[in-house]
C-alpha cells in the first residue's frame, strides 16, 4: 500500500513537500478500494485481524463519543476499546480529536460505525500515515525505491519457526496484493483518460527535430529524449512513472532561453525540475502549468521559437520526408530462419542496422560489437536461450549443485535447458509498423514473432526485476515451505507486466518452474502452474515454454488423479496452444484424447449445477478451453472427432452455465468449417441449443453461437432447422446491439447465410430485418458491411424487399460502397446493386448516382469474383435503363473492355460477360462496335464448353450477335455451329431454349444449315417442337423450316 500511496495516489504539494490527497475521481476510487479491504479484513482474515500493530495509526478524526457504543468504554471525551493488547493498552483510543488504532479488527469496526464519514476518515488516516506498513509491521518493511528486501527477510525468519512471523508474512502479502491492485487500478484509469498518446508525441518530436539545428532560422537549437530506451507500449518513462500517465522526457534548447527539461504525459506537457546530478535522475515534480502539447509549451517559453516557426508555418505540419528510424531486434524462430545462431552473439554478423547519417556509421564501425548496458542487455533475452552444456563436466557440476540443495530441489528432474536456436536481426520500423504487427495476428495463422528492443545503458532496472530475482533463489533452493511461499509471493507481482516476465526468463526461473512440474510435491506443481498460466499469455514466453518441452509435461499431468492440477495444466495448455507448433505438440503427445477425456464426467449436460466450483464441471471447462485453442488446426479438429468429442460437446451444450458454454460453442464454431462437423452438429441436435443460447445475456456466448450458425447455415437442411427452432427471431433482435461490433459481425453473417433460403427471407421481412440492415450500411467496420450487404443481396431476390430498400434509402449507401477496395465487400455489393436494378424505380436512382459507371469500372478489378458479379449486375442495369444503348456508349473503352473479358479462364466470368453481351447486342450500334472488337471469334472459341451455365448464356449471346451483318457466316466459319448442336443433348431446359434460338438465327445462312444437318440437328429439334415452352417450340420449328427450305431449294436446283 505504501507504493500505491507514493505512486498512484495524486497528492497536492506544499513548500515542505508534504501534502494532502487531491479530490479526484481516481483518488476516490482508490480510497474506496482501501476502505473495502479494511472493512472485510476482520471477517476474511480473523487471525490476522487480531495482530497488534508495531505502532498505532494516529490521525485527527471527526468522530466523537456519540459515535461509539457496545464494545467501547466512554469516559467524558475519552473513548477506549474493551479489547486490550498484551500490555493492557486499548487497541483503540480517542482523546479529544485524536484517534489511535492498533489492529485491523478495530479499524474494520471503526469504518462500520458511520458510513457517511468513512471516506473522510480514510483520507485523514492516510494523509497522517504516509507509509502505514511501517507502523503496522515495523520500519524494516518501509516502502523504498529500488530493491525491497522485506519479504526476503521474512522468508529467512520462517526458518526460525516464529508464529508471529508467519502472521506478519500473511499480512505483508495481503497488503502487497492490495498495493498491486491499487497500482493496476490507477494504470487502467490513466489509460482510459488519455488525452495525449505516444504516437502524437513521437510525431511532434519528429517534426520539431526536422526544423531544429544551429542555424538562425531554425525553431530550436536541439531537442532530444532523455532516454533512447522504449518500452513495448512505446513509452520511455520508467514503469513507476508510467502509472502517473507520463510518457517520456525531453531536453530542449531554444535559441533565447536556458535548456528546458519537460515531461510529456497523457494529461499534457509541463516543465519538470530537470536533472538531479547527485542521483543521475530527473526531478519529476511539475514546475509549471500543463500545456496541451509541446508546441503550445514552447510558444509560451520562447519568443524566438514563435518568430521562427511563423516563417515555416506553411510547411511545419507536412509529413517529414526523413524516415523515422528506431533500432529494434526481432527474434525469429529458427524453424523459419534456418539458422542455429546463439542469441547471445550480438556481433556485427547478426545485427544489421540502418544509420541516419555517416557520422553514426563511423561510430558503429569504431564499435565493432553492439554492447547494451550490463544491467539491461539480457532482460529481453530469455535465459532459456542459453546453449546446452557443452561438456559432461559442466553437466556434472550442475548435478552436484542440485544434490546440495534442499528436498524439493533434489526431487526436480533436471532437463536440458536448451531450446531452438534463434537468430536476431535488426530492422528499422516506424510506429505505424508496430501497430500493423500487433493488429495482423489471426486465429488460424501462426502468431508473429515478438520484437526485442535494445536497452539504454543509462536506464535502471525496475524494482520488480530485482524482487523476482531474489525470489527465484528461494524457488530454486528453498525447502518445500519456502518454495511455496516464494511462489505465492511471486504471484503477487503483476506477472502480465513485461519486466516481470523477462525477469523470470532471464534469471533462469522459467526452467525451474517447468522442472517443478516433475516433482512429487503437489503444492509446488500447483504453484508453478499458476505462475505459468499467467505468464503464458505472453506470446514470446509461451514459445519459450514450448521449446523447453513444458507442453509435454503438462500433457502428462492431464493423467494426474489431482483435479486441481489437471485444471491448471489444461488452462495453461489453452494459453500456449495459440500457435501452430504448440498445437502440433499437443496432438503428437496424445493431448487431444486426454483433453477430450476431461469432458467426460457425471454432471455432463446438467442444467441444475448447484455451484460452478463443482470439480467435474470445472475440469470440463478447462478441458474445453484447451480444446478451443487446439481446434484452430485442421488436423486437431479431426483428432477431436476421432476421440469422441462431438457427443460430449453436444451434451455440454445443454448445460446452462455460460463459463462452460462459451468454450464449448467456441470449439463448435471453429470446427464448423469442416463438412463432417456441420453434419454432426445437425444430426446430434445441437442447432436447437445454439438457437436457444442466442437469447443468453452474455454477449460473448451470443457471438460464438451466431458464428457457429453462420458456418453451419451453408447447408439447406441446417437453415430449415434454424427456422423451425425459432432461431430467426433472436438473430433479428440482436441487430439492435450495434455497439458490440464482433457480435454484430457474427449476427449479420448468420442472417446472410440463413437468407439463402427463400422461406427464411419471408420470416426476416416479418421481423423488419431489411430495414435494420439498411440502417447498418453506414459507419460500420468492413467485416460487418460484408455480411450486411451479403444479406441484403439475398433478400433482394424478392420484389417487395427491393421496394423496402428503396423506401428506406438503402440504394445510395450501396452505390457508395462500390468505390471500396475490400474484395469480399465488392463481391457482395455488386450482387446487391444488380438485384436492386431489376426494378425500374431503383434503376433510376442507381443511374442518377452513376452506379452503372462504377459497376463497369469494377470489370477491371483483378478478382474474378468481383468481375463476374459486376458483369451480372450490369445486365439488369442495361435492361431497365431508359436509353440503355446511349448509356453504354458513353463509357469510354467500356465495350472493348467487356469483349476482352471473353478471354478470361474463369467460367463464372465468361458466363456473366456472355449475359452482358446479350443485353448490349440488343442495341444495333453497340452490336456493330463489339463486332469490330472481335466478339464473334471470341464467342466461337468458347463453344466447346461443357459448363451448363456458360452454354446457356453463350447460346443467347450468339443468337443476339447474329443480328448484325455477316456475323452468321462468321460464326459458321469459326466452327461454332457443330458444338451448339451438341448442346441440345443437355438435360437443362434453359440450355435447350437458348440453343434452339441460336440455331434458328444461324440457320438463316445455308452453310450453317448444312453443318447442322450433318450433325443430326433435325432429329433433336423434332423432339422439341412438341415442348410446352413456346419460345423453344417456335425456335425449333423455325430452324427445321429453314433447313427444309434449303433442302427443297437444293432439290429444285438439281432436278429443275
Burial-class residue 105 by CB neighbours within 10 Å (0-12, 13-18, 19+): buried
- Whose cell is 509471493? That residue is 489
Intra-chain end-to-end CA distance of the chain, in Å: 121
| pLDDT, average across residues 382-400 | 35
Express each pLDDT in 877-930 by its tens digit: 999 888 888 888 888 888 999 999 999 999 999 999 999 999 999 999 999 999
Q: Which residues, in sequence order, are CB contacts of 463 under 8 Å at separation 6+?
A: 145, 146, 147, 148, 240
Checking if the pLDDT of 18 tops 50, the result is yes
Q: Identify whether the C-beta of residue 985 lies closer than 8 Å to the C-beta of residue 950.
A: no
| pLDDT, average across residues 926-942 | 92
Q: Say how far apart CA 471 and CA 469 lie, in whole Å.
A: 5
Q: Where are the beta strands (DSSP E) in 812-918?
A: none
Express each pLDDT in 299-353 by its tens digit: 888 888 888 887 764 444 444 433 333 333 333 333 333 333 332 333 233 323 3
Question: Residue 39 — very low, low, confident or very high, per pLDDT cuts 50/70/90?
Answer: confident
In this prediction, residue 529 carries a pLDDT of: 92
Checking if the pLDDT of 946 tops 80, the result is yes
Q: Say how far apart CA 979 and CA 983 lie, in whole Å.
A: 7
Q: Among residues 338, 329, 277, which one has the least CA distance to residue 453?
A: 329
Residues pairing with 57 in the sheet: 101
The alpha carbon of 720 is separated from its chain's Cα centroid by a whole number of angstroms, namely 33
Nearest 5°: the CA angle 1008, 1012, 1014 is 115
Cell matching residue 830: 455488386
Radius of gyration of the chain (CA): 39
Cell matching residue 1034: 417456335
In this prediction, residue 405 carries a pLDDT of: 38
Express each pLDDT in 958-1002 by its tens digit: 999 998 888 889 999 989 999 999 888 888 889 999 999 999 999
In this prediction, residue 408 carries a pLDDT of: 36
Cell matching residue 1041: 423450316
Q: Among residues 826, 736, 751, 762, which one has the least CA distance to residue 791?
A: 751
Checking if the pLDDT of 519 tops 70, the result is yes
Q: Say how far apart CA 645 and CA 163 lie, in whole Å.
A: 51
- Least confident range of 111-125, 290-304, 321-335, 1009-1023: 321-335
Q: Identify whether the C-beta of residue 721 lies closer than 8 Å to the C-beta of residue 732.
A: no
* Residue 492 DSSP code: T
Question: Residue 612 — very low, low, confident or very high, per pLDDT cuts 50/70/90?
Answer: very low
Mean pLDDT, the chain, as a whole number? Answer: 79
Of 77 and 691, the one with more pLDDT: 691
In this prediction, residue 401 carries a pLDDT of: 39
Q: Identify whether the C-beta of residue 144 lies closer than 8 Å to the C-beta of residue 133.
A: no
Classify 645 as helix, strand or coil.
helix
Percentages helix, strand, coil for the chain, rounded to the nearest 5?
60, 5, 35
Q: Say how far apart CA 139 and CA 158 lie, in whole Å.
A: 19
In this prediction, residue 108 carries a pLDDT of: 87
Q: Identify whether the C-beta of residue 408 lies closer than 8 Å to the C-beta of residue 478.
A: yes
Of 476 and 432, the one with more pLDDT: 476
Q: For the sheet containing 72-75, what is the strand order?
A: 52-60, 98-103, 92-95, 78-81, 72-75
- Least confident range of 145-159, 396-410, 792-806, 908-922: 396-410
Give the DSSP per-residue string, 839-864: SHHHHHHHHHTTHHHHHHHGGG-S-H
Checking if the pLDDT of 35 tops 70, the result is yes
Express each pLDDT in 622-664 by its tens digit: 999 999 999 999 999 999 999 999 999 999 988 888 888 999 9
Long-range CB contacts (within 8 A, 24+) of 315-322: 316/207, 316/211, 317/207, 320/206, 320/207, 320/210, 322/206, 322/210, 322/356
Q: Identify whether the C-beta of residue 837 lies closer than 8 Å to the C-beta of residue 876.
A: yes
φ and ψ of 899, to 5 deg: -65, -40
Q: Does residue 33 come out as left (phi exceeding 0), alpha (psi in the -120 to 50 range) or beta?
A: alpha
| pLDDT, average across residues 699-725 | 92
Question: Residue 876 — very low, low, confident or very high, per pLDDT cuts 50/70/90?
Answer: very high
Question: Residue 9 — very low, low, confident or very high, per pLDDT cuts 50/70/90?
Answer: low
Q: Say how far apart CA 689 and CA 669 lie, in whole Å.
A: 13
Give the DSSP per-residue string, 935-947: HHHHHHHTTT---
Q: Among residues 593, 510, 598, 587, which one has the least CA distance to residue 552?
A: 587
Q: Among residues 98, 18, 21, 19, which one has the least CA distance to residue 56?
A: 98
Burial-class residue 313 by CB neighbours within 10 Å (0-12, 13-18, 19+): exposed
Express each pLDDT in 169-184 by its tens digit: 888 888 888 888 887 7
Q: Which residues, in sequence order, are CB contacts of 946 under 8 Å at separation 6+?
A: none
Checking if the pLDDT of 361 tops 60, the result is no
In this prediction, residue 394 carries a pLDDT of: 34
Checking if the pLDDT of 485 tops 70, the result is yes
In this prediction, residue 162 carries a pLDDT of: 63
Residues pairing with 246 in the sheet: 265
Amino acid at each position: 500500500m505504501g507504493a500505491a500511496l507514493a505512486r498512484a495516489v495524486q497528492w497536492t504539494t506544499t513548500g515542505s513537500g508534504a501534502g494532502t490527497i487531491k479530490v479526484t475521481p481516481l483518488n476516490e476510487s482508490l480510497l474506496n478500494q482501501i476502505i473495502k479491504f479494511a472493512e472485510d479484513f476482520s471477517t476474511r482474515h480473523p487471525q490476522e485481524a487480531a495482530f497488534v500493530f508495531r505502532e498505532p495509526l494516529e490521525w485527527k478524526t471527526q468522530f466523537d463519543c456519540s459515535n461509539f457504543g457496545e464494545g467501547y468504554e466512554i469516559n467524558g471525551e475519552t473513548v477506549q476499546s474493551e479489547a486490550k493488547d498484551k500490555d493492557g493498552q486499548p487497541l483503540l483510543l480517542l482523546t479529544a480529536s485524536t484517534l489511535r488504532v492498533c489492529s485491523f479488527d478495530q479499524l474494520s469496526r471503526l469504518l462500520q460505525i458511520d458510513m457517511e464519514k468513512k471516506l473522510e476518515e480514510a483520507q485523514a488516516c492516510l494523509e497522517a500515515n504516509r507509509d502505514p506498513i511501517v507502523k503496522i509491521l515495523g520500519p524494516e518493511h518501509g516502502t523504498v525505491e529500488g530493491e525491497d528486501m522485506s519479504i526476503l527477510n521474512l522468508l529467512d525468519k520462517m526458518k526460525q519457526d516464529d508464529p508471529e512471523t508467519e502472521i506478519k508474512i500473511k499480512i505483508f502479502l495481503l497488503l502487497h496484493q492490495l498495493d498491486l491492485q491499487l497500482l493496476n487500478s490507477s494504470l487502467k484509469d490513466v489509460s482510459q483518460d488519455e488525452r495525449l498518446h505516444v504516437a502524437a508525441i513521437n510525431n511532434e518530436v519528429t517534426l520539431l527535430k526536422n526544423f531544429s539545428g544551429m542555424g538562425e532560422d531554425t525553431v530550436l537549437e536541439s531537442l532530444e529524449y532523455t532516454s533512447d530506451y522504449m518500452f513495448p507500449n512505446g513509452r520511455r518513462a520508467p514503469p513507476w512513472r508510467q502509472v502517473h500517465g507520463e510518457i517520456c522526457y525531453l531536453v530542449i534548447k531554444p535559441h533565447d532561453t536556458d535548456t528546458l527539461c519537460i515531461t510529456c504525459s497523457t494529461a499534457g506537457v509541463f516543465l519538470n525540475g530537470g536533472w538531479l546530478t547527485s542521483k543521475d535522475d530527473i526531478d519529476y515534480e511539475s514546475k509549471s502549468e500543463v500545456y496541451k502539447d509541446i508546441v503550445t509549451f514552447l510558444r509560451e517559453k520562447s519568443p524566438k521559437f514563435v518568430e521562427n516557426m511563423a516563417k515555416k508555418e506553411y510547411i511545419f505540419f507536412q509529413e517529414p520526408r526523413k524516415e523515422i528510424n528506431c533500432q529494434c531486434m526481432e527474434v525469429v524462430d529458427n524453424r523459419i530462419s534456418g539458422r542455429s545462431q546463439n542469441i547471445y552473439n550480438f556481433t556485427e554478423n547478426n545485427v544489421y542496422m540502418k544509420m541516419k547519417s555517416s557520422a553514426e556509421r563511423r561510430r558503429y564501425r569504431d564499435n565493432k560489437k553492439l554492447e547494451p548496458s550490463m544491467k539491461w542487455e539480457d532482460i529481453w533475452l530469455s535465459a532459456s536461450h542459453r546453449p546446452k552444456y557443452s561438456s559432461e563436466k559442466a553437466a556434472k557440476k550442475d548435478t552436484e549443485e542440485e544434490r546440495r540443495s534442499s528436498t524439493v530441489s533434489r526431487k526436480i528432474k533436471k532437463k536440458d535447458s536448451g531450446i531452438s536456436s534463434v537468430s536476431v536481426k535488426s530492422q528499422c520500423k516506424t510506429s505505424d509498423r508496430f501497430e500493423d504487427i500487433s493488429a495482423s495476428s489471426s486465429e488460424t495463422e501462426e502468431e508473429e514473432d515478438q520484437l526485442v528492443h535494445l536497452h539504454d545503458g543509462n536506464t535502471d532496472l525496475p524494482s520488480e526485476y530485482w524482487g523476482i530475482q531474489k525470489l527465484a533463489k528461494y524457488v530454486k533452493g528453498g525447502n518445500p515451505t519456502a518454495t511455496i511461499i516464494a511462489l505465492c509471493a511471486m504471484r503477487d507481482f503483476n506477472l502480465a507486466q513485461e519486466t516481470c516476465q523477462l525477469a523470470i526468463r532471464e534469471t533462469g526461473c522459467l526452467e525451474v518452474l517447468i522442472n517443478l512440474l516433475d516433482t512429487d510435491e503437489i503444492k509446488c506443481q500447483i504453484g508453478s502452474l499458476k505462475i505459468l498460466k499467467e505468464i503464458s499469455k505472453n506470446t514470446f514466453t509461451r514459445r519459450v515454454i514450448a521449446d523447453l518441452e513444458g507442453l509435454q509435461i503438462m500433457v502428462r499431468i492431464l493423467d494426474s488423479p489431482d483435479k486441481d492440477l489437471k485444471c491448471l495444466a489444461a488452462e495453461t495448455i489453452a494459453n500456449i496452444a495459440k500457435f501452430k507448433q504448440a498445437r502440433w505438440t499437443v496432438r503428437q503427445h496424445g493431448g487431444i484424447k486426454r483433453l477430450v477425456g476431461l469432458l467426460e464426467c457425471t454432471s455432463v449436460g446438467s442444467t441444475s449445477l448447484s455451484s460452478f466450483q463443482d470439480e467435474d464441471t470445472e475440469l470440463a471447462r478447462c478441458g474445453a478451453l484447451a480444446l478451443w485453442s487446439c481446434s484452430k488446426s485442421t488436423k486437431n479438429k479431426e483428432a477431436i472427432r476421432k476421440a469422441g468429442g462431438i457427443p460430449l460437446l453436444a451434451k455440454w451444450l445443454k448445460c446452462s452455465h455460460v463459463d462452460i458454454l462459451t468454450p464449448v460453442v467456441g470449439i463448435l464454431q471453429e470446427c464448423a468449417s469442416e463438412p463432417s462437423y456441420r453434419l454432426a452438429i445437425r444430426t446430434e441436435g445441437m442447432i436447437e441449443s445454439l438457437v436457444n443460447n442466442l437469447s443468453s445475456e452474455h454477449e460473448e456466448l451470443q457471438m460464438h453461437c451466431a458464428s457457429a450458425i453462420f458456418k453451419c447455415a451453408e447447408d439447406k437442411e441446417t437453415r430449415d432447422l434454424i427456422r423451425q427452432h425459432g432461431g430467426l427471431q433472436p438473430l433479428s433482435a440482436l441487430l439492435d446491439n450495434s455497439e458490440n461490433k464482433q457480435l454484430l459481425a457474427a449476427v449479420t453473417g448468420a442472417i446472410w447465410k440463413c437468407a439463402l433460403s427463400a422461406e427464411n427471407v419471408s420470416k426476416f421481412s416479418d421481423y423488419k430485418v431489411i430495414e435494420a440492415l439498411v440502417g447498418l450500411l453506414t459507419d460500420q467496420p468492413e467485416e460487418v458491411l460484408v455480411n450486411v450487404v451479403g444479406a441484403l443481396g439475398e433478400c433482394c431476390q424478392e420484389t417487395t424487399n427491393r421496394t423496402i430498400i428503396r423506401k428506406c434509402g438503402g440504394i445510395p449507401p450501396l452505390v457508395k460502397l462500390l468505390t471500396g477496395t475490400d474484395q469480399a465487400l465488392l463481391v457482395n455489393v455488386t450482387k446487391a446493386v444488380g438485384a436492386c436494378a431489376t426494378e425500374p424505380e431503383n434503376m433510376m436512382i442507381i443511374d442518377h448516382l452513376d452506379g452503372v459507371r462504377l459497376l463497369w469500372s469494377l470489370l477491371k478489378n483483378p478478382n474474378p469474383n468481383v468481375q463476374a458479379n459486376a458483369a451480372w449486375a450490369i445486365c439488369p442495369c442495361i435492361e431497365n435503363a431508359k436509353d440503355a444503348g446511349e448509356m453504354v456508349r458513353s463509357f469510354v473503352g467500356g465495350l472493348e473492355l467487356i469483349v476482352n473479358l471473353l478471354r478470361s479462364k474463369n467460367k463464372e466470368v465468361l458466363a456473366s460477360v456472355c449475359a452482358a453481351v446479350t443485353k448490349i447486342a440488343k442495341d444495333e450500334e453497340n452490336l456493330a462496335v463489339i463486332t469490330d472488337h472481335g466478339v464473334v471469334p471470341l464467342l466461337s472459341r468458347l463453344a466447346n464448353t461443357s459448363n451448363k451455365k456458360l452454354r446457356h448464356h453463350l447460346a443467347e449471346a450468339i443468337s443476339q450477335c447474329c443480328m448484325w451483318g455477316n456475323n452468321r457466316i462468321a460464326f459458321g466459319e469459326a466452327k461454332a455451329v457443330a458444338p451448339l448442336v451438341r448442346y441440345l443433348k443437355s438435360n437443362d431446359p434453359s440450355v435447350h431454349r437458348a440453343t434452339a434460338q441460336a440455331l434458328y438465327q444461324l440457320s438463316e445462312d445455308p452453310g450453317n444449315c448444312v453443318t447442322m444437318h450433318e450433325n443430326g440437328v433435325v432429329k433433336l429439334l423434332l423432339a422439341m417442337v412438341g415442348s410446352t415452352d413456346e419460345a423453344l417450340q417456335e425456335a425449333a420449328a423455325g430452324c427445321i423450316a429453314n433447313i427444309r427450305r434449303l433442302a427443297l431449294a437444293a432439290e429444285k436446283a438439281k432436278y429443275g
